[in-house]
Structure 1
Amino acid sequence: MSRGTEAPEVAVELVPASLEANLDSLEAYVTGAVEELSAEGLDCTDPDNYRWAKGARAQLNRMAKAVSQERNRVKRDYMRPFKAFEDRCKAIERKATDAAKRLGEPIAEADEAWRARRTAELEAFYAEGAELLAPVVPLPRLMDGERWLRRSCSLPKAQEEMAAKVARVADGWEALKAAGLGDALPDAERAYFETLDVAAAIAAGRDAADAKARIAEMAAAVAPEPLPEPGPVPEPEQAPEPATAPATWRPGPEDYARMAGEPAPAPGEPRGDWHLTVTGATRSEVLALVEAMRAMGLHGSIRREGAAS
């Protein structure tokens, strides 16, 4: 297919075939055979009637078979050119459909790219002409359909319609602010910029105000009774000072000397090695004696009689 060439129109010329047959005489024979039958039926007990009925039945069966065979033969011959025509038409249909599908992908890609460019152009125009409204009302909500993204709608036409739509939104906002909604205005404005419907926004603002009032009434109704003023807090009783545990007393060298009946060592008294023998002492008593000697600063060794040192 060369570019610039229009597809030809489908043109089919049908020349009906002429069929000639002795159908009239065949039908007349069958009609005559039927007329021979009375309403009560043919009495075949009569020999003549019997012979006639047998012959007529055979001829009718042969005629029916012959008519069926000829009908099918003529149909095949008659439909043969149509079958060839039908097969070729179907082949052309499949070929055209496949070619159209292959062209559909690049067309879709081109349309998507075109829509992206048009969207960017509209967003730039919207942001420049309505810089305060654009962040609040996104472009898709303002577009109200796909008309501005169609190739049939030129960019100047789309921009003109957008400017008119922005003006209507601004007028609606002014009408909303003049509706005397009071504290309900913020809720109404939020609904308006979501729907761009002034009447719906006013209704939403009033509904929000009514809901807040009902909640405030409910909160006041279920508020708890105020508690009585608390009286003076008594001074806490002073806890008695805890008894101080007596310090643990440990005997010094002079104490051991006194307990032994000897005077405490004088300062500068010479020291020497001593051997001490303890008789009849238990292990616990010996350990206590060792602790006492260590407390006096004495060192040495001690062993039990009869045990290895």
Structure 2
Amino acid sequence: MAEINLELVATKTVAGSLETNIEQLERYVDTKLEEYKPELYAGDADSARKDRAEINNGIKALSQKRIAIMDELMKPFADFEARCKALEAKMKTASGALDRIVKDKEQKEKEQKRADIELEWQNRNFNLFALEKIFDSRWLNKTCKMSEVRRGMDEAIERTYKDLKTIERFGSDAETLKAHYLDTLDIGETLDYGEELEKNRKKVAQEAAEREIREHEQKLDEQRRGLQEEQKIEASVNRMSALVSAALEEEPKPETELPPKAEEKTFALTVRTTQTQMMCIKDYLCKSGIEYECREIVF
């Protein structure tokens, strides 16, 4: 098909050929305005109002004539512009129809290249993440060769193995971080996430230790309060017994008479302590003449 050869040629142009009486009007106005100086109207507002109207009418007439002359002067150019734009629109319509044919072919070529790229990816037997994770839309360009695509895939795979090895230094968090990395493929962000996990683990461990100490202190406080209550009750019972004895006027027992042996009871007490502290407790019980049975249990 023959090449379209369009060369717009101006067969006649006249530049700066507008001839008017503008110079005559300029001299006339400059002279005439001398008659309308403000100092000539001192105390005569009516005359000023009348002459102002005359000047405004002159401005309006000059403006209307200027616009009419310019419209007439620009008419050939406006017609020329409209006809050029009409030609351009016709040509754009034809170009658009051909553009659809070209783009349909380009789309089919991209689809075929995409299929070739996916086959290349499958041949690598790499299943840690899908192709979409690293797919570069520039791979579909005609200027991008398949050798560049293959190189991009291999570099991504090599980088992934290297990054996963780096992540393994996080020990117990490695598996969690590997999953995170395979989701983002951002080693920098993943390492930051690993550091945050480590900080949170330390916080949790510190909180657990502090809680154990706090709960231990609470338990001791409860034991102390319980012992104090028992002591209060025992003291109250002793006072009551003394009052009853006094009321019944019991005869005092000879000093040589031994006091009746207190009733023995068996108590079970579970303590959480160290081996050394347990030895001290046993020593105290022995010195106090208290029988005991001790066995280790698991809390």
Question: TM-score, structure 2 length as denominator?
Answer: 0.54
Alignment of 1:1-309 (within 5 A): 2=1, 5=3, 8=6, 15-41=14-40, 67=62, 70-129=65-124, 131=125, 133=126, 135-143=127-135, 145-177=136-168, 180-208=169-197
Number of equivalences: 207
- C-alpha RMSD of the superposition: 4.1
Q: Displacement of 1:72 after TM fit? A: 4.3
Relative to structure 1, is the Cα distance of residues 214 and 11 closer, same or farther in structure 2, using a 3 angstrom cutoff? farther
Relative to structure 1, is the Cα distance of residues 211 and 16 closer, same or farther in structure 2, using a 3 angstrom cutoff? same
Q: Any conservation in 2 of the 1:187–1:204 contact (CA below 8 Å)?
A: no
Which structure 1 segments of 5+ residues have no match? Answer: 223-309
- SS, match of residue 156 in structure 1: helix
- In 2: Cα distance, 1:116 partner to 1:90 partner: 37
- AA aligned opposite 2:34: E
- AA aligned opposite 2:187: V
Q: Which residue of 1 aligns with 2:236?
A: none
- In 2: Cα distance, 1:95 partner to 1:219 partner: 80
Higher helix share: 2
- In 1: Cα distance, 2:150 partner to 2:33 partner: 85
Q: Any conservation in 2 of the 1:119–1:149 contact (CA below 8 Å)?
A: yes
Deviations 1:96-121 (A, max 9, x none): 33334333433443333222212211
Q: Any conservation in 2 of the 1:191–1:201 contact (CA below 8 Å)?
A: yes
- In 1: Cα distance, 2:7 partner to 2:203 partner: 73
Deviations 1:171-223 (A, max 9, x none): 2222223xx2112111111111122222322333454566678779989979x
- In 2: Cα distance, 1:111 partner to 1:127 partner: 24
Deviations 1:261-280 (A, max 9, x none): xxxxxxxxxxxxxxxxxxxx
- SS, match of residue 172 in structure 1: helix
Larger Rg computed on CA atoms: 1
- In 1: Cα distance, 2:166 partner to 2:65 partner: 86
Question: TM-score, structure 1 length as denominator?
Answer: 0.53
Deviations 1:15-66 (A, max 9, x none): 42401122212221222111134442269x9xxxx9xxx9x99998997687
- In 1: Cα distance, 2:54 partner to 2:38 partner: 22
Deviations 1:235-293 (A, max 9, x none): xxxxxxxxxxxxxxxxxxxxxxxxxxxxxxxxxxxxxxxxxxxxxxxxxxxxxxxxxxx
- AA aligned opposite 1:170: Y
Which structure 2 segments of 5+ residues have no match? Answer: 213-299
Deviations 1:42-93 (A, max 9, x none): 69x9xxxx9xxx9x99998997687556534432331121121111122123
- In 1: Cα distance, 2:131 partner to 2:122 partner: 9
Q: Which residue of 2 aligns with 1:226?
A: none
- In 2: Cα distance, 1:60 partner to 1:219 partner: 96
- AA aligned opposite 1:138: A
- In 2: Cα distance, 1:24 partner to 1:194 partner: 81
Relative to structure 1, is the Cα distance of residues 10 and 168 closer, same or farther in structure 2, using a 3 angstrom cutoff? farther
Relative to structure 1, is the Cα distance of residues 58 and 182 closer, same or farther in structure 2, using a 3 angstrom cutoff? closer
Q: Which residue of 2 aligns with 1:277?
A: none
Identity of aligned residues (%): 26
- In 2: Cα distance, 1:196 partner to 1:116 partner: 26
Q: Any conservation in 2 of the 1:186–1:205 contact (CA below 8 Å)?
A: no
